[in-house]
Structure 1
Amino acid sequence: MDSPWSMFGHDVVHTCRSPYSTEHNTGVEVWRVRGDSLGSVWGSALTDNNGIIYFGTKGSDSSLYALYPNGTRKWKFPANGLIWATPAISEEGIMYITTWGGDRYFYALNLDDGTEEWSIKIEASSTSSPSIAEDGTIYFGDDDNIIYALNPDGTEKWRYTTGYNVNGAPAICIQDGTIYIGSGDNYLYALYPNGTLRWRFETGDHIKGSASIAPDGTIYIPSFDGYLYALYPNGTLRWRVSTGDSLAAAGIALGKLGTIYVGTEMLRAYNPDGTLKWMMDAQGYIDGTAPAVSADGTIYVSAGNCLVAINPDGTEKWRNVISDEQVRSSPSIGLDDRVYVGSTYSEYGYLFAFGVFDPDAPTAPTIIGRIRGTIEKSYDYIFRSVSPIGNDVFYQIDWGDGSLTDWLGPYDSGESIVMNHSWSEKGTYTIKARAKDTDNLWGPWGELKVTMPFTYEPPQLPFIQWLLERFQNAFPILRYLLD
């Protein structure tokens, strides 16, 4: 199964680079999907070769969702434990999932219908994303310091114990099958495919992120000591560079020409020899996530509460606010110029799809109503959108004060609907509304700015102004009225 994005970091060497272009992606929100209950999305979304999208949630929901390309649900699998990490898809159409808490299950699911193929209990919770070798062996770590190797039928092949938690995703060398994975004991481990130690390399602090492997065999690893390390395949140091901050990055991305992208409070681009190419202020911390790079060279990062698209020269292309807190999900790239990223918004986990609008999607709603008024008083607003193909439409309305009216309808295309709202605090608010149709095609936002309460601005009267300034103790009634 040649999936567009099948595991953490896209592939077993964790390039975080897609063969698909996103040059036409303008940052338009094509759709967003929410989990069924409170939770958040921390892992990356995966896309299989049929265009089906998969994502997991952590929280009271803790489920794995499969979505059609238009964002409608195909199936849902409730897990016994939080789905913290990115799952992995095998060539045979099986999805592997680690969980944290609960009964500590590792799951294998059938991609077609989400049914469980098998599950096993492991020694401890896991936030490690699985990686799948060419022979089908599944590698991952857990919070009991163990690196596991499982056969495709769920039987254990071997296990290796490190000195502390293993949180990252294993990187696998395509040429010889060596497995590279970091541990909280500060070491990067290189293991032979039979589970014996090849070498280990000590950094200055614990390693939570995942290694990446360049075509020449160089291994890159971020460490909490603030350094990015480049190692030769024999485990000796090639170079290291200080990033100026502890590297909580989940991983790094490798550009087509060997550029290394890593994020902290900045997004940094390094040449293969370790020299700095450029540095860009993403205006938000890049915490616990890895960048994604498209075939056209655009870099996508989760920075602060935003998804940011960055040109190959380090200039900003576009950004979108996707959360009311720090985004912990690494972006991924699918088909049709799509970029996917998870977030938390109003305590719910969401998956966002960004790309370009479908020309058959409904128009941006027109919004008609009072633009000035008083607080605690309800006002009527008229919303109207047209489906170019005549489908019925639904409306979502963001009133600008934190309240959301979610998907009213369906209504006839072009039908005007009336909704009322009141604001409890003084201020200027932007009412935003959008429509989707019965095919789940989402249209753009329409906006209307309103001010509550209405404020009177007296006309400019130069003569009266001069008069009041000239006779400062006169005309008390006139002064009162103007005030």
Structure 2
Amino acid sequence: MLMKYLKKAEMNKSFGLVIFLFGLFGCGGKPPKMKGRPIGPASGQINTVQTFSAVAEDPDGQDVSYRFDWGDDIISKWTEPKPSGTIASDTHTFTTEGEKQIRAQAKDSDGKLSEWSEPKIFFVTTNEASICRRLVCVNSDGDTAGFVSTPAIGDDGTVYVGCSFGHFHAIDSTGMPKAKYVIDPDEEEPIISSPAIGSDGSIYVGALDKLYAFNPNLSVRWFFTTNGEIFSSPAIGADGTVYILSEDGVLYAVSNQGQELWRAQLTGGYSSPAIGPDGSIYIGSDNGYLFCFNSNGNQKWSYYAGSAINSSPTLDREGKIYFGTEDRGVFCVDSTGNLLWRYPTSSPTSSIVLDYNGNVYFGTESGELISLSSSGSERWIFFETGSSGSTPAVRN
């Protein structure tokens, strides 16, 4: 009887050793590791689609999937697996205002999880442009400046905005000035370009014929000179590349160190680029074409709308692109450039805003605020005296 129990104990010991060795070696190597915090804008309007990206490396070289904690009690589904070290993107629509702490997590092919990343701070506002109402800039003659561009908000709540005197301002969250940079002391050319903030805190804005990169204290990191003045706003890719259109119709891709990566000749215009989750760049031109480029500068396709496109394209979660024209209305095309629908208007339109349900909102210079369904059918029209060239904000 004693020998029977000893033999059983020896078997259990061997079995335990097998379990230990399996746990040590059987499940592969180490989990993936996140590389920094998520990449994306520092602020945005409520009920609009926002795109964020993340990257992780797996020590064993396995493919990696990602998910995002959006900071509003919602965690995304896992993305499709991508090679280790490859950037992945996802979109989210925030339905509440305030500060959101966005984190990302990676999972390898064996199901091993990384730690959650450090948070990316994102501010959700009802209407960013309303911040400008309390900012006042006065020159030496006592003239008061206007604010044409839309502000950008840093992770610490600092507001960055350009004014009509050609000054670029940093204002703290209480409305007190922190710093100011004068673009050209000899000229009071307005800054129309709206700033964009990179994941490293750099602030990018176009003024005169230059794309500027500022540190948060508004010291200049670098500037890049274009062939024409800049009235459009920069867009930042997931890898930090900055895209900007100059007035003479050249789309530039500039590294976050200020080196030109490539350029593409359009015809002109004031459209600002928009970037899709796969890194595609969408931009309109004043000869009526919507262009799509890949991140290497190769044109993927173009769509002819028949009228100048000076507003900026907007993308939804399905990859559809919405844009307005000077006199042929609002268009919706799919990610391959095929027309899905058109809503005619007789005057220029603002850029498009989408709500959580995919409904479309835009203003016209003839004083209309129009809402369409995601399929392009008219929901309602609000008439106002005067033009409505600004982009609306929406709230459910």
- How does the TM-score come out when normalised to structure 1? 0.54
2:93 maps to which of 19, 39, 56: 19
1:269 aligned onto 2:337 = no
Contact 1:300 1:331 in 2 (8 A): yes
Q: Which runs of 5+ in 1 are unaligned?
A: 23-47, 57-62, 66-75, 338-483
Corresponding residue for residue 451 of structure 1: none
Aligned partner letter, 1:162: T
Distance in 1, matches of 2:249 and 2:388, equals 26
Q: Which has the higher contact order (CA 8 A, sep 6+)?
A: 1
Aligned partner letter, 1:19: T
1:130 maps to which of 195, 202, 215: 195
1:253 maps to which of 305, 311, 314: 314
Distance in 1, matches of 2:337 and 2:124, equals 39
Point out the structure with the larger strand share.
1
SS in 1 for 2:252: strand
Corresponding residue for residue 137 of structure 2: 79
Distance 1:105 1:202, change over 3 A: same
1:228 aligned onto 2:290 = yes
1:201 aligned onto 2:254 = no
Q: Deviations over 1:86-136 (max 9, x none)?
A: 111111101111112x3x21111112x211111111124310000000111
Corresponding residue for residue 172 of structure 1: 236
CA RMSD of aligned residues (A): 2.7
Contact 2:243 2:253 in 1 (8 A): yes
Corresponding residue for residue 303 of structure 2: 241
Report the alpha carbon displacement of residue 50 of structure 1 after superposing the two structures with TM: 7.6
Alignment of 1:201-350 (within 5 A): 201-203=264-266, 205-249=267-311, 251-264=312-325, 265-281=328-344, 283-287=345-349, 289-303=350-364, 304-322=366-384, 324-334=385-395, 337=396
Contact 2:42 2:154 in 1 (8 A): no
Corresponding residue for residue 169 of structure 2: 107
Distance in 1, matches of 2:228 and 2:49, equals 23
Aligned partner letter, 2:45: W
Contact 1:99 1:126 in 2 (8 A): yes
Distance in 2, matches of 1:185 and 1:139, equals 20
Distance in 2, matches of 1:18 and 1:326, equals 31
Report the alpha carbon displacement of residue 79 of structure 1 after superposing the two structures with TM: 2.2
Report the alpha carbon displacement of residue 266 of structure 1 after superposing the two structures with TM: 1.2
Q: Deviations over 1:25-45 (max 9, x none)?
A: xxxxxxxxxxxxxxxxxxxxx
Alignment of 1:434-473 (within 5 A): none
Contact 2:167 2:182 in 1 (8 A): yes
SS in 1 for 2:93: coil
Distance in 2, matches of 1:99 and 1:9, equals 27
Q: Deviations over 1:259-280 (max 9, x none)?
A: 1001113111001110100111
Distance in 2, matches of 1:2 and 1:235, equals 26
Contact 1:18 1:294 in 2 (8 A): no
Corresponding residue for residue 155 of structure 2: 91
Report the alpha carbon displacement of residue 223 of structure 1 after superposing the two structures with TM: 0.6
Report how many aligned residue pairs link the two structures.
281
Report the alpha carbon displacement of residue 295 of structure 1 after superposing the two structures with TM: 1.8
Distance in 1, matches of 2:380 and 2:182, equals 43
Corresponding residue for residue 154 of structure 1: 218
Contact 1:12 1:133 in 2 (8 A): no
SS in 2 for 1:307: strand
SS in 2 for 1:318: strand
Larger radius of gyration between Structure 1 and Structure 2: 1
Corresponding residue for residue 64 of structure 1: 132
Point out the structure with the larger helix share.
2
Contact 2:45 2:126 in 1 (8 A): no
Corresponding residue for residue 187 of structure 1: 250
Contact 2:223 2:258 in 1 (8 A): yes
Report the alpha carbon displacement of residue 55 of structure 1 after superposing the two structures with TM: 2.9
Distance in 2, matches of 1:305 and 1:131, equals 29
Contact 2:288 2:304 in 1 (8 A): yes
Report the alpha carbon displacement of residue 306 of structure 1 after superposing the two structures with TM: 1.4
Report the alpha carbon displacement of residue 239 of structure 1 after superposing the two structures with TM: 0.6
Distance in 1, matches of 2:282 and 2:124, equals 32
Report the alpha carbon displacement of residue 12 of structure 1 after superposing the two structures with TM: 8.7
